[in-house]
Amino acid sequence: MSNSAVPDTRDNINGGEVRNGLSSVVLHPVKLGTITVPTPVVLSPMAGVTNWPFRVLCESYGPDGLYVAEMITARALVARNPKALRLCRFAPSEKIRSLQLYGVNPAIVAQAAKIVVDEHMADHVDLNFGCPVPKVTRRGGGSALPWKQDLFTEVMRRTVAVCGPAGIPVTAKIRVGIDHEHESFLEAGHIAQEEGAAAVTLHARTTAEYYGGHSDWERIAQLKQELSVPVFGNGDIWSAEDAERMVAETGCDGVAIGRGCQGRPWLFEDIKNAFAGSSERVNPDLEHVCEVILRHVHLLVDFYDGDEHMAVHDMRKHVAWYLKGFPVGGGVRKRFMESETIADFQAVMADLDMSARLPVEALDKPRGRVRYAKKVHLPYNWLDSRTTTAEQREALFGDDPMDASY
């Protein structure tokens, strides 16, 4: 069961119906320990994207969701890397401070979690077991780690042991497995639940599938049926209607949005409206999009402590996403990509047709990376068994190879 070819009208696991894009499916508030998420729609952590300026924008459109900071490398946090500490910042307006940690060495992850607890850095900790990029998986991290059940169990157990007494819920983000011959999501979901995870999010692709093809939502339904803790579904939600269909098909407790909101923070308002039974959707003209771009870059200036040059350079990729589908031409896009100041952005905007809107065929199309992994990079002999050997642990932790830099 994938998200393609969904009938206009069908029964769904939650007892509602989907009719021509509108549904009677209701998302109930989700409790994560002592935290209540009124509308369980999650901004998935994305490296280089979900810093606090982008989270604040998204939260302004969907104020009752959960907005997770981009992945923090545990080793870098323990080493007090300046970039890691910058990424741990939250805006005063953020209702729930949600931070994601990544690591392979359970002791280092636990140390990072203790810093988060002792310094009151966050209200919620998510553990990254879903990242498919080679620099992470070749060290046994991200989506490679759940294959080793002993290592996965230890990271979960030690993190919950640190965060639990402080009232900080711990959740886990996983993938289906390394490939379809090496799936791990059901076992990982059970382990996470047994070790005290407050919820599990499943990106319904394998590491090998990377960001290509279709997310297999049937796997989300399988995991939901297996677990008693809340299950969030992730993968191929490009519109509010996709979010409705995912809940209808899988019965998941909430949805997690990644690439679908790149350049479209108003997607959270669309989804909020959809689950409230409203057909109202945001389809901004170029004037509104430019206003959002300028607000975003000014927030980035604050994020970079007043460094406008860094903010504008960071903003360039966002501008490409904001303009995706608009008839602005390659020359205009090139001028944006060569901009060095906010004034440069404004000069380019002055030449745009501010009344332009996205053509219907460009709405709700995939955004960001859409590709398969050429090769899954793993530590030597990683797939030989479901537990780590002494040699593998020595290779992973013996000389503390975790990179403390970004």
* pLDDT value, residue 362: 67
Q: Domain coordinates of the chain in residue numbers?
A: 28-279, 286-362
Predicted confidence band at 246 (pLDDT cuts at 50, 70, 90)?
Answer: very high
Distance, in Å, from the CA atom of 33 to the CA atom of 198, rounded to the nearest integer, reads: 6
* Angle between helices 330-337 and 308-323 in degrees, nearest 10: 160
> pLDDT tens-digit profile of 71-116?
999 999 999 999 999 999 999 999 999 999 999 999 999 999 999 9
* pLDDT value, residue 26: 82
Residue spans of alpha helices (H) in 227-373: 240-250, 267-275, 286-303, 308-323, 330-337, 342-349
Contacts of 194 (CB under 8 A, 6+ apart): none
**In sequence order, what DSSP letters do the residues of 183-214 get, joined into one string?**
B-HHHHHHHHHHTT-SEEEEESS-TTTTT-S-
Residue with more model confidence, 398 or 11: 398
258: left (phi over 0), alpha (psi -120 to 50) or beta: alpha
Is residue 129 within 8 A of residue 71, CB to CB? The reply is no
pLDDT at 66 over 60: yes
* pLDDT value, residue 221: 98
**In sequence order, what DSSP letters do the residues of 243-256 get, joined into one string?**
HHHHHHHH--SEEE
Determine which one of 131, 163, 252, 290 is catalytic.
Answer: 131
Is residue 179 within 8 A of residue 140, CB to CB? The reply is no
> pLDDT tens-digit profile of 132-182?
999 999 999 999 999 999 999 999 999 999 999 999 999 999 999 999 999
Can 58 be counted among the known catalytic residues? no
Residues in the chain: 406
pLDDT at 7 over 90: no
Classify residue 187 as exposed, middle or buried by CB count within 10 Å of its CB (0-12, 13-18, 19+). Answer: middle
Distance, in Å, from the CA atom of 148 to the CA atom of 271, rounded to the nearest integer, reads: 36
* pLDDT value, residue 343: 98
The CATH superfamily of 28-279 is: Aldolase class I (3.20.20.70)
Considering only 56-65, 119-128, 374-383, which range has the smallest mean pLDDT?
Answer: 374-383
* pLDDT value, residue 265: 97
β-bridge partners, 35: 32
Considering only 23-27, 112-116, 209-213, 287-291, which range has the smallest mean pLDDT?
Answer: 23-27
Task: Provide Rg for the chain, Cα atoms.
Answer: 21
pLDDT at 404 over 60: no
> What is the layout of strands, in order, in the sheet containing 231-234?
66-67, 41-43, 254-257, 231-234, 199-203, 170-175, 124-129, 98-102, 72-73
Predicted confidence band at 383 (pLDDT cuts at 50, 70, 90)?
Answer: very high
Give the mean pLDDT of the chain: 90
- Average pLDDT of 184-213? 95
* pLDDT value, residue 359: 75
Distance, in Å, from the CA atom of 201 to the CA atom of 28, rounded to the nearest integer, reads: 16
- Average pLDDT of 31-35? 95
Predicted confidence band at 211 (pLDDT cuts at 50, 70, 90)?
Answer: confident
* pLDDT value, residue 371: 58
Considering only 246-250, 267-271, 346-350, 353-357, which range has the smallest mean pLDDT?
Answer: 353-357
Q: Pairing relation of β-strands 231-234 and 98-102?
A: unpaired
Is residue 282 within 8 A of residue 271, CB to CB? The reply is no
pLDDT at 186 over 70: yes
